[in-house]
Amino acid sequence: MPELPEVETIRRDLSRLIIGARIVDVIVSLSKFVSPRRLFEQRLVGRRITSLKRYGKLLVFALDGNYALQVHLKMTGQIVLRHKGKVLFGGHPIAGLLEVPNRYTHLTISLSTGDVLYVNDLRQFGYAKLFTTEDSQKIVSRFGIDPLLPSFTFAVFEGLLKKATGRTVKAFLLDQSKMSGLGNIYTDESCFAASIKPTRRAGTLTGAEQKKLYKNIRAILKCAVAKRGTTSSTYERTYTKAGSYTRYLKVYGRAGKPCQRCGRPLSKARVSGRGTVYCFYCQA
DNA sequence: TCTAATACCTGCGGGC
DNA sequence: TGCCCGCAGGTATTAG
Ligand SMILES: [Zn+2]
């Protein structure tokens, strides 16, 4: 589900409402969703939320008392904040399911503001893990560079490519230890924009192709963040404005449909274990 | 050490 | 209608 732009959208929406709030109650409905299972509730209650940060696709709630709560939404996770009778919604949309809590709610956190935070996940791949600040920092430091940071220069990108010459471009872009934040949507979109087949080996890219890929990754992610990401649902009776990047998608979800550049039908293949859409003719 | 395949889950839509 | 299959915005872990 959510990739960098969608997680960043959640982070921005939530930050305004939860920073400074204190956790007054915690309910765990699926014990394997959280860690540590035994002490989770006890350690959280009474903490104040001091910041909300994003590392790639991971959200980190910093808490006073030297704790950090890491929440990953994986494929189908959502975060919903009940605020003054309405809900603020982020992550993977489930059509027609706006009530909270619901059968996919695994974690409920009540705040001193009266708001309630729900973490839902249909496929249960996601997690909420509580660490000390130091342990959390250690985990996050192993992540690849965030492609939206100013420090992610072309030289850095080139260096990463050199260390993965044998891998497909798709596998390389999806590898969160190289860069963190790209997922299946934005990987395919970046490859199309750069006219590179996702099946190409990273080591076969020309200098010009490397540059084009780098530029398009940044441009696409920036645009997607500005558009609040890619979401297909509308959100009535909520505070949430839907993500509108959907209408900019050139290949993702368009297999068999005409390529917007050459008009021929887009191809679909399995690359690096993921459904992959590309134009056989426009992408070299 | 590197790369690829598999496991983890539930639900949906298409084909028979 | 119901059953079976493949597929879904991710990533630890395992296997080669
Ligand atoms: Zn084309």
pLDDT in tens, A120-148: 999 999 999 999 999 999 999 999 999 99
Contact status, residue A141 vs residue A177, Cβ threshold 8 Å: no
The answer to whether strand C lies under 7 Å from the CB of residue A77 is: no
pLDDT in tens, A24-48: 999 999 999 999 999 999 999 999 9
Percentage of the residues of chain A whose pLDDT score is greater than 70: 95
Bin A240: left if φ > 0, else alpha if -120 < ψ < 50, else beta: beta
Question: Residue A19 has what pLDDT?
Answer: 98
Catalytic residue from among A47, A57, A170, A197: A57
| Side-chain-facing half-sphere of A84: CA atoms under 13 Å | 3
Q: How far apart are CA A89 and CA A14, in angstroms?
A: 9
pLDDT in tens, A165-180: 999 999 999 999 999 9
pLDDT in tens, A246-280: 999 999 999 999 999 999 999 999 999 999 999 99
Separation in Å: C11 C1' and A282 CA: 31
User: For the ranges A174-178, A208-212, A241-245, which has the lowest average pLDDT?
Assistant: A241-245
Q: How far apart are CA A171 and CA A28, in angstroms?
A: 35
List bases, strand B, within 7 Å of protein CB.
Answer: 2-11
A198 labelled catalytic = no
Give the domain A4-140 fold: N-terminal domain of MutM-like DNA repair proteins (3.20.190)
pLDDT in tens, A15-24: 999 999 999 9
Considering any atom of strand B, list protein residues whose CB lies within 7 Å. Answer: A 32, 103, 122-125, 163-168, 171, 272-273
Q: Which of the 3-32 residues on chain A come under 7 Å of nucleic strand C at their beta carbon?
A: 3, 6
Separation in Å: B6 C1' and A170 CA: 19
Question: Is A68 exposed, middle or buried, given 0-12, 13-18 or 19+ CB atoms closer than 10 A?
Answer: buried
The interface predicted TM-score of the complex, written ipTM, equals: 0.94
A99 pLDDT higher than 90: no
What angle, 0 to 180 degrees and rounded to 10, lies between the N-to-C axes of helices A154-162 and A207-226?
120
A158 labelled catalytic = no
A57 labelled catalytic = yes
Question: Residue A239 has what pLDDT?
Answer: 63
Q: Which of A121, A101, A106 is nearest to A35 (CA)?
A: A106
A36 labelled catalytic = no
Q: How far apart are CA A240 and CA A128, in angstroms?
A: 23
Q: How far apart are CA A230 and CA A243, in angstroms?
A: 5
Q: How far does the centroid of ligand 1 lie from the alpha carbon of residue A189, in Å?
A: 13
Domain boundaries, chain A: 4-140, 154-278
Q: Which of the 220-239 residues on chain A come under 7 Å of nucleic strand C at their beta carbon?
A: 229-232
Question: Is CATH 1.10.8.50 the right assignment for the domain spanning A154-278?
Answer: yes
Question: Residue A238 has what pLDDT?
Answer: 62
The answer to whether strand C lies under 7 Å from the CB of residue A56 is: yes
The answer to whether strand C lies under 7 Å from the CB of residue A123 is: yes
List bases, strand C, within 7 Å of protein CB.
Answer: 7-12
